[in-house]
Structures are given as structure tokens and as C-alpha cells.
């Protein structure tokens, strides 16, 4: 340990030493301690990360799974309706309305997944950057979905809140969740209308209603 040499011995009066020399020793000491601190920090980071990654993955997996249940089912329902219409050779306008709804649902689902991917790509490089990242995400989020006239402003406030509070991690898939949720409700409603119009069984209508209240 070369830096041991730089430690002042107990006999010496520290203040009698040449000031420049002291400064130099102090500097080296500082440098070495800083290095130990950094090394410790790096080791700690690795251990901490290793210890929590799986837990985080499990949590995220569960959250992500829960978010897609309704939209996924809705896509399945409308896909089946579309197949049925094709097999029954329903008139083109009615088939078109089912197809159109299916396309919107698929887009909605894609957007939800894209948001999650976006969050993954924007992983913070350092803790200090987390806040930057949060604001980055908020900015993007404002651009992508709150710029419209339908924006209630509520969700924007929400993301600003996240900027101030470092302890709550942003789960970007919840960004703008209000309007996404409203959107999904709307799609469920459209689906119900089609189930009714095309005279699909009562049980299906009931099931879509249940999804709506879930």
C-alpha cells in the first residue's frame, strides 16, 4: 500500500511540516480513500443489483401481465368475432366494422407494449440520472399523448409529481394511464355494441361487461 507512506507519524507536528508537502500527502490520502470509496461503491452496486434484479423482474412481470389481461382478451374476442363473420360470409360493411375495431385494439395493445419497451431502453445510467430520466419520460409522454385536445391534464400533473419524488420509481407503462384506460373502456364499449348488433350470444355480452368493470 503505497499510500501508507503519506500518513503523518505521531511524533511529527503536522503543522511544522512544509505546507506544500502536507498538501501533497493530504491529496494522495484523499485520492486513495476516494478510490477505496469508489471501489466499495462499485462492489456494493454489483451486489445490490444482483440481489434485487430477480425480485424486480418478478414484480415487473406480474405488473406487466396484469396490465395486458383485458386488452388481450378483447383482442381475442374481436378476432373470434371477425373469423365468425368471415365464415358466415356476413355483408362487407358489418365485417368491416369488426375488422376496424380489431385494428384499433391491436394498435392499442402495441402502444402499451411499446411504452414498456421504451422504459427499458431509457434505463438510467446513474442514480443522479434517474430524475433526468423521469423528466425525459414525462417530456416524451407529453409529446406522445398529452398534446392532444382530449388531455385532461391530470396525467401530466401526475408525472410532474414523479419528478419531485425520487423514492417512487417510475413505471412508465402507467404514464398517461388515465387516457389509455379511458381509451380501453371505449374499445370495450364498441365491442359490446358489436356483440349486440351482430346478435352474438348473451353470455359473451355478459363477459365483456365483466371485463369493463374489472
Cα torsion through 57, 58, 64, 65, rounded to 10: 140
* Pairwise CA distance, residues 64 & 24, whole Å: 55
% helix / strand / coil in the chain, to the nearest 5?
A: 80, 0, 20
CA distances from 36 to 33, 42, 108, 162 (A): 5, 10, 50, 34
**In this chain, which of 90, 104, 113, 192 binds another protein, going by CB under 8 A?**
113
Residues between 55 and 74 that touch another protein (CB under 8 A): 55-74
- Residue 104 as a binder of another protein (CB under 8 A): the answer is no
**In this chain, which of 23, 27, 86, 186 binds another protein, going by CB under 8 A?**
86
Residues between 12 and 41 that touch another protein (CB under 8 A): 29-30, 33-34, 36-41
- Those residues whose C-beta lies under 8 Å from the C-beta of residue 77, and which sit 6 or more positions away, are 191, 204, 207, 208
Please tell me the number of Cα atoms within 13 Å of 144 on its side-chain side.
17
The minimum distance between CB 160 and another protein, in angstroms, equals 20
Pattern 174-213, another protein, x by CB under 8 A: --------------------------xx-xx--x------
Pick between residue 152 and residue 189 the one whose CB is nearest to another protein.
189
- Residue 76 as a binder of another protein (CB under 8 A): the answer is yes
Residues between 156 and 175 that touch another protein (CB under 8 A): 169, 171-173
Amino acid at each position: 500500500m503505497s499510500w501508507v507512506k503519506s500518513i503523518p507519524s505521531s511524533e511529527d507536528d503536522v503543522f511544522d511540516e512544509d505546507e506544500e508537502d502536507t498538501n501533497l500527502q493530504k491529496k494522495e490520502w484523499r485520492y486513495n480513500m476516494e478510490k477505496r470509496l469508489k471501489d466499495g461503491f462499485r462492489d456494493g452496486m454489483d451486489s445490490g443489483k444482483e440481489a434485487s434484479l430477480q425480485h424486480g423482474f418478478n414484480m415487473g412481470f406480474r405488473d406487466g401481465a396484469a396490465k395486458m389481461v383485458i386488452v388481450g382478451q378483447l383482442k381475442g374476442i374481436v378476432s373470434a368475432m371477425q373469423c365468425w363473420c368471415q365464415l358466415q360470409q356476413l355483408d362487407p360493411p358489418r365485417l368491416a366494422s369488426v375488422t376496424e375495431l380489431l385494428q384499433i385494439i391491436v394498435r392499442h395493445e402495441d402502444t402499451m407494449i411499446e411504452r414498456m419497451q421504451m422504459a427499458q431502453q431509457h434505463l438510467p445510467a446513474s442514480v443522479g440520472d434517474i430524475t433526468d430520466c423521469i423528466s425525459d419520460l414525462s417530456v416524451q409522454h407529453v409529446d406522445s399523448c398529452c398534446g392532444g385536445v382530449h388531455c385532461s391534464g391530470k396525467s401530466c400533473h401526475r408525472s410532474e409529481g414523479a419528478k419531485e419524488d425520487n423514492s417512487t420509481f417510475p413505471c412508465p407503462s402507467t404514464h398517461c394511464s388515465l387516457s389509455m384506460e379511458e381509451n380501453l373502456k371505449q374499445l370495450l364499449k364498441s365491442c359490446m355494441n358489436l356483440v349486440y348488433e351482430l346478435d352474438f350470444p348473451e353470455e359473451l355480452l355478459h363477459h365483456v361487461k365483466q371485463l369493463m368493470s374489472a
